[in-house]
């Protein structure tokens, strides 16, 4: 196990390095500069600015400086908002994006699994059709459309929830709903189909024959196996939710990280581009790693390491 983890950690560092290098190459190849403006500045001013941010140095030196900033986790000040450092921006935005993401995942998994199990148990009955119809809608409606719809109906027309911003738990309901509906629908459909499959297995019949309590059969025997595919797609869903927050954060004016990620590219704010990209990638890589570990714990048949099992 330890050996496996060690190997994975090494792979994670290499992946991150590749991402950083690609980002750097993309950054220097896109035309434009952070100091581009309609009006233009004096050459002397321009030269001073470039020197201040090391943009006058050869690319290879800039590259090494970026690597250094990543190792020390100090990305320096933003070019566009010079009185703020990238670390401050990440420190401010990440907890909020994380909060939004985590709540979304919890809501999506809980409601998705519940809906899926329910639909499977009431297979081909009205509840099944309703649940699955709901799921199809959830998958087909893009989250930004749903977001606008939710605001108009639930915040403007009937004033149940606040329109936007991120101040109290009530402010979280609409963005979380908009963001969680898609993943929830996917999870619900997946749970339903695997649940249907598992319920016909011999060991379930066996459990029933032994007279176990129904909830025990569902929760302990059926659900545990039915959840495996759900865990498998968690990695992809996670990436989807993280990128989904960019749009949702903008619509609901949630002061998270998405805005830095998108705007820094438009503004060619190099330190912020690097900071957000590295941070997002590192986060995603670690999460995928955790999902893999969870997979091993949930299913004892899966061996994370080659040795250790019977050869």
Partner 1 sequence: MKKGLLYLMGVLVFLVLAACTANESTGTENKNGEGEKAGDEKILQLNNGEEPTSFDPAIGFDNVSWNALNNLMEGLTRLDEDHTPQPAVAEEWDVSEDGTTYTFYLREDANWSNGDPVVAEDFIFAWERLLNPKTGSSAGFLGYFIKGGEAFNSGEGSTDDLGITAVNEKTLEVELENPTGFFLHVLTNPAFFPVNHQVAADNSEWHAEAESFVGNGPFQLESWEHDNEMMFTKNDAYWDADSVNLDGVHWAMVNDTNTEYQMFERGELDSAEIPAELSDQLIDGDNVQVVDQGGLEFFRFNVTEEPFQNKNIRKAFALAVDQENITEYVVKNKVKPAYGYISPGFTNPSGEDFRDVNGDLVSFDPEEAKQLLEKGMEEEGYDELPTVTLSYNTSDLNKEVAEAIQGMFSENIGVDVELENTEWNVFLEDQKALNHQLSRSSFLYDYADPVNFLESFITGSYMNRTGWSNEQYDQLIANAKSEADEGKRWEYMYEAEKLLAEEVPLFPVRYYNQVEVLQEGVTKILRHPVGYLDLKYADKQ
Residue where the block lists tokens 């190792």: 71
Terminal C-alpha separation, the chain: 16
Q: Which residues pair with 77 in a beta bridge?
A: 85
Binding segment toward partner 1, per CB under 8 A, in 21-29, 37-45, 65-73, 185-193: 37-45
Nearer to partner 1 among residue 60 and residue 167 (C-beta): 167
Q: Does 286 bind partner 1 (CB under 8 A)?
A: no
Query: Which tokens in the block code for residue 304?
Result: 């994370």
Alpha carbons 169 and 26: distance in angstroms, whole number: 39
Binders of partner 1 in range 64-103 (CB under 8 A):
80-84, 88-89, 92-93
Angle between helices 2-29 and 59-71 (to 10 degrees): 140
Smallest separation (angstroms) from partner 1 to the CB of 90: 12
- Considering only residues 99 through 118, tell me which ones interact with partner 1, judged by CB under 8 A: 110-111, 114, 118
| Binding residue (CB under 8 A) for partner 1 from 1, 10, 41, 137 | 41
Contact letters for partner 1, residues 234-273 (x by CB under 8 A): ----------------xxxx-x---x------xxx-----
Which two three-digit tokens encode residue 144? 């930004």
To which residue do tokens 């059926």 refer? Answer: 222
**Among positions 20, 187, 218, 241, the unique one binding partner 1 when judged by CB under 8 A:** 218
Q: How far is the CB of 38 from partner 1 (least distance, A)?
A: 7
From residue 124 to residue 163, the character string flagging contacts with partner 1 as x (rule: CB under 8 A) and all else as - is: ------------------------x--xx--xx--xxxxx
* Whole-number Å distance between alpha carbons of 194 and 222: 9
Scanning 164-172, 191-199, 282-290, 293-301 for contacts with partner 1 by CB under 8 A, the matching segment is 164-172
Rg (alpha carbons) of the chain, rounded to whole number: 24
Judged by CB under 8 A, the number of residues near partner 1 is: 67
Q: 156 with 235: CB under 8 angstroms?
A: no
- 3 state SS for 204-260: HHHHHHCCCCHHHHHHHHHHHHHCHHHHHHHHHHHHHHHHHHHHHHHHCCCCCCHHH
Give the binding site for partner 1 (CB under 8 A): 30-33, 35-45, 47-49, 52, 80-84, 88-89, 92-93, 110-111, 114, 118, 121, 148, 151-152, 155-156, 159-173, 213-215, 218-219, 250-253, 255, 259, 266-268
């Amino acid at each position: 196990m330890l050996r496996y983890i060690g190997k994975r950690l090494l792979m994670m560092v290499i992946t991150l390095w590749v991402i950083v290098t690609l980002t750097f190459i993309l950054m220097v190849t896109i035309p434009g500069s952070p100091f581009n403006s309609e009006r233009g500045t004096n050459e002397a001013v321009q030269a001073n600015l470039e020197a201040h941010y090391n943009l006058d140095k050869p690319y290879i030196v800039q590259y090494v400086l970026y690597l250094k900033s990543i190792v020390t986790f100090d990305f320096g000040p933003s070019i566009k908002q010079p009185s703020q450092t990238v670390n401050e921006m990440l420190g401010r935005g990440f907890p909020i994006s994380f909060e939004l993401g985590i709540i979304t995942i919890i809501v999506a998994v809980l409601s998705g699994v519940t809906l899926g199990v329910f639909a499977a148990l009431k297979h081909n009955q009205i509840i099944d059709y309703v649940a699955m119809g709901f799921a199809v809608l959830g998958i087909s409606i893009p989250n930004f459309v749903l977001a606008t719809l939710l605001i108009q109906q639930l915040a403007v027309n009937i004033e149940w929830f606040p329109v936007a911003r991120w101040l109290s738990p009530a402010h979280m309901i609409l963005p979380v709903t908009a963001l969680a509906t898609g993943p929830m629908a996917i999870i619900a459909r997946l749970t339903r189909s695997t649940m249907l499959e598992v319920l016909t297995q011999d060991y379930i019949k066996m459990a029933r024959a032994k007279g176990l309590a129904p909830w025990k059969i569902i929760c302990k025997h059926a659900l545990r196996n039915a959840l495996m595919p759900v865990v498998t797609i968690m990695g992809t869903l996670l990436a989807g939710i993280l990128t989904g927050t960019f749009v949702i954060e903008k619509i609901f004016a949630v002061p998270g990280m998405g805005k830095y990620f998108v705007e820094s590219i438009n503004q060619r704010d190099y330190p912020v581009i690097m900071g957000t990209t590295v941070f997002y990638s590192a986060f995603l890589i670690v999460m995928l790693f955790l999902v893999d570990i969870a997979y091993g714990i949930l299913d004892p048949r899966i061996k994370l390491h080659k040795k250790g099992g019977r050869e």
